[in-house]
Structure 1
Amino acid sequence: MKFQSTIILVILFITFGFSLGCDDQNSGPHHHHGDNHVLAASDAAQGSLFDLGSKWTTETNQTITLKEFKGSLFIISMFYATCQSICPRLVADMEQLSKKIAEKTGKEPRMVLVSFDSEKDNPAVLNAYKKKMNLKENWTLLSGKEEDIRMLSVVLGINYKKISNGEFNHSAVYSLVSKEGIVVSRIEGIGSNTEALIVQYQNLK
């Protein structure tokens, strides 16, 4: 409960600050994504993802909690299915990371994508996206309630904001999560070097 209370306070602070910070970006018709590093790696909230207690729906229409991933290392990020710019590049980076980890360890890591868009990204949409992107069975795509999405984004150190055209301003971040649900490493931006994260994955395995 203490962890969730802390997260709620951080949500209020970050939402207000990000709203102010995005005003200039939103003035143009196409500025609905950002490559900038919004938060440093150390700014992700401390605590286990498994303590959040939120429920999520998978692309196969199953209801799960994040405790489903307990006991496994996994890579997690946030996106939305209609994103045409940053998200496909982010997913491509994560695919390359997955392949490199598989080459090093002999096993594909669990990969998780959580949608920002609680209104549009239902299981059917997520399943279609998974097929479109040719994502393998080690990938799980999740949708959830708006408040749960916001809380998770804070724990992962990801800023996002829905704007008037239905798109989202958001940072590009993916994280390595331990078997206990702790964020242990984060990659910010597109095309970043992942070697340190891969070494950390191997050490935790």
Structure 2
Amino acid sequence: MRVHTRRIILGLLAAALLTACEDRKLPYLGQPETVTKTVAGKTTEETHYPSIPAFSFTNQDNQTVTESDFKDKIYVADFFFTTCPTICPVMKKNMLKVYDEVKDNPTVRILSHTIDPAHDSPAVLKTYSNDLGVNNATWQFVTGDRGKIYEIGQQHYLITAAEDAKSPGGFLHSGHFVLLDKDRHIRGMYDGTTDEGTYEIIRDIRTLLKEYEQEK
């Protein structure tokens, strides 16, 4: 009875989140910087929010993936490893829900970074993506230099990504999904291990898409 009740509550929550019609704008996350500009003798101040820097990784098809591949696209980023014995299976089950939502939208992408590049070669990532049923370019699984993966994760995506001998599988990483806009600004972070977090990011992807539609 309790399980049935919980399912009903989660279903109602999902419906409420996904059908919310409020006109709202997602926040920008990260420490902003105030830049002073002088144009034609007039001084103004602009607020600049941090963005994900240039990057270069290799995907499951052994192709180079850079920030230019995400030009004019919003995307969801996360960090994982294929042999993860704890939260990764749940995260990927939930990310599949996000994938099903966006896979036919050419302006949305998903970028999953392995934190175990020594094991997770392009071939391993290809098998992993195939097992998940991912069959188009919407969802990229990338590997690369370990230091650069950890650096971009911890310093720019604001998540945890590191080797840790005391953690299950030998690595410690965040369970968050990170939502980026077309300028690679972080617009939201969500618990990728929960139904609630998954419903929230799907809702906010729709909100962000609507925001760009309104700017046209």
Match of 2:82 in 1: 81
Cα distance in structure 1, aligned partners of 2:80 and 2:67 = 17
Which has the larger displacement, 83-92 or 123-132?
A: 83-92
The 3-state SS of whatever aligns with 2:118 is coil
Cα distance in structure 2, aligned partners of 1:76 and 1:64 = 13
Match of 2:24 in 1: none
Cα distance in structure 2, aligned partners of 1:129 and 1:115 = 11
Match of 2:7 in 1: none
Cα distance in structure 1, aligned partners of 2:134 and 2:160 = 25
Preserved contact between residue 94 and residue 192 of structure 2 (Cα < 8 Å): no
Preserved contact between residue 176 and residue 201 of structure 1 (Cα < 8 Å): no
Match of 2:173 in 1: 170
Preserved contact between residue 178 and residue 204 of structure 1 (Cα < 8 Å): no
Preserved contact between residue 56 and residue 142 of structure 1 (Cα < 8 Å): yes
Match of 1:123 in 2: 122
Cα distance in structure 2, aligned partners of 1:44 and 1:174 = 19
Deviation of 1:111 after TM superposition, in Å, equals 1.3
Deviation of 1:44 after TM superposition, in Å, equals 8.0
**When the two structures are aligned, how many residues end up with a matched partner?**
160
Deviation of 1:93 after TM superposition, in Å, equals 1.1
Q: Which has the higher strand share?
A: 2
C-alpha change, 1:66 and 1:44, in structure 2 (3 Å) is: farther
Match of 2:134 in 1: 135
Write out per-residue CA displacement over residues 41-70 of structure 1, whole angstroms, 9 at most, x where no aligned residue. 945895222x2x332011111123222111
Which has the larger displacement, 187-196 or 111-120?
A: 187-196
Q: Output aligned runs, 1:86-125, within 5 Å.
A: 86-101=87-102, 107=105, 109-125=108-124
C-alpha change, 1:181 and 1:42, in structure 2 (3 Å) is: closer
Q: Output aligned runs, 1:18-97, within 5 Å.
A: 42=29, 47-49=50-52, 51=53, 53-97=54-98
Write out per-residue CA displacement over residues 120-142 of structure 1, whole angstroms, 9 at most, x where no aligned residue. 11100100100111123121110
Deviation of 1:114 after TM superposition, in Å, equals 0.7
The 3-state SS of whatever aligns with 1:200 is helix
So what's the TM-score if we normalise by structure 1?
0.68
C-alpha change, 1:168 and 1:86, in structure 2 (3 Å) is: same
Question: RMSD across aligned C-alpha pairs, in angstroms?
Answer: 2.4
Unaligned runs of 5+ in 1: 1-40
